[in-house]
Amino acid sequence: MASWSVICFANEEPEHLKAFVAWHLGLGAEKIHLMLDNPDPGIVDMFSHLPQVDARAFPPSYWPKPTDKAEVGRQDRHNALSTLAYHEVTSDWAIHIDVDEFLFPSGPVDTLLDQIPRDHPAIRIYAADRLLPDGYTHWASDFYRMPTSERYPDWLGEIYDFPDQFMFGLRGHSNGKLFIRAGQTGLKLMSHRIALDAPIPIKKSKYGDAFTLLHMFVFDYEHYQRKGVWKFLRGPGNQRRDAEIVNPTPRDRRRIELSGAFERGDEAMKHRIFRDLFVFSPDRLKRLARYQDVRQFDFTEPLGRYVKQYFP
C-alpha cells in the first residue's frame, strides 16, 4: 500500500500544532515534517516522544541576510523549507499543507493513493472553510462551506453584511493544495503549486475529489486577529490600486472602510466582521446552504481521540 508523509511550514500555538500532528498520525501518516519558523522555546520538545514527527526549528540566524532587503521573506522561507523537506521524504507521497488544514479522506488514505495513475505527479485537493456555531467553543463545529467559484455571486449580500472578495472566508483556498508524488528530482514546492523550471499545472481530477482539506482558518476571535486579516485587506497591492481609483465603487469604499477599522483597532467593527464571516446560527446556516455547498464532516470527535492518543 502507498505510504505518505506530511510537510508543514508553521509558527502556531502549541495546541494547534498538537491537533495537526495528532490528526494526521491518526489517519496513518508515516512521517510529519514540521518546519518550524522561529518557534518559541520548548515547541520542538513537545514532539520528542513521537518518532514519526521530524520537528525542526529554523531561527533567523539560519537564513543568510539578503543584499536587497532586511530579511528573507516569509513566503521565501516557506518555499525553501518545504522544498528541503520534500527532498527528504522517504514515503511514496507527500501532502504539503498548513497547520490549519486537516486532510479528510473519503476512505483509507493509502488505498486512495494506490488508485492514482503513475503519470500523475500530483493531485489537487480543495479546501472547505469551517463555520462556527453561535456560542462556539474552540473545536466545536463540523460544518464547512466549500469555496464558491464565482467572483461576486449575487447572493452574497443576502447572507453577509460584508460581501467582499478581499475578505477571507468567502472564497476559501479556491486553488487548493497538493498531494505530491515523492522522489521527483529538482522539484520545488510553493504554497499552492509545484515547479521544475516552470510551474507544473495540476488540474482538478476525480482522484483529488476523494479528499477534502478541512480549513480551520480561524480557531477563535483571538486567532483571527493574530492572522492579521487587515494586512490582507489593506496590503501593498490594494493600496496601490486604491490610489489609482478615480471613481471608487461601493465595494471599493467598503473595503477601505473595513481595513481602516483594523488599522485603528476598532474592536466593535472587528467583532462584527468576524461574526459575519464565521459565526452562523442554525437559521443562517440553512440560508447559506441554499446558495453554497455546505457540508458536515465527522471531525471533532475523532480529533479529540487522536489528541488523547498521541499527547496523553
Per-residue pLDDT reduced to its tens digit, 46-80: 999 999 999 999 999 999 877 666 678 888 999 99
Q: How confident is the model at residue 166 (pLDDT cuts 50, 70, 90)?
A: very low
Closest CA to 145 of 47, 213, 239, 71: 213
> pTM for the full model?
0.88
Average pLDDT over residues 105-118: 97
Of 131 and 23, more confident: 23
Average pLDDT over residues 242-254: 69
Residue range 192-202, pLDDT digits in tens? 889 987 788 89
Average pLDDT over residues 112-134: 93
pLDDT, position 173: 61
Which one of 28-42, 70-84, 171-185, 253-267 scores highest in mean pLDDT?
Answer: 28-42
Q: Count helices and strands (H / E) in the chain.
A: 11, 15
What phi, psi does 107 have (nearest 5°)?
A: -165, -170
Closest CA to 134 of 147, 143, 121, 124: 143
What is the C-alpha to C-alpha distance for residues 177 and 201, in angstroms, rounded to an integer? 12
Q: How confident is the model at residue 239 (pLDDT cuts 50, 70, 90)?
A: low
Asked whether 119 and 235 are in contact (CB, 8 A), the reply is no
In this predicted structure, the answer to whether residue 305 has a pLDDT above a threshold of 90 is yes
Q: Which parts of 178-228 fold into alpha helices (H)?
A: 221-226
Q: How confident is the model at residue 134 (pLDDT cuts 50, 70, 90)?
A: confident
Q: Which long-range contacts (CB under 8 A, 24 or more apart) does 254-261 make?
A: 254/162, 254/164, 255/164, 255/166, 258/162, 258/164, 258/167, 258/230, 258/233, 259/230, 259/233, 259/234, 260/234, 261/230
CATH assignment of 4-222+292-310, given 3.30.450, 1.10.8, 3.40.50, 3.90.550? 3.90.550
For the chain, the distance separating the N- and C-terminal CA atoms, rounded to the nearest angstrom, is 29
pLDDT, position 58: 95
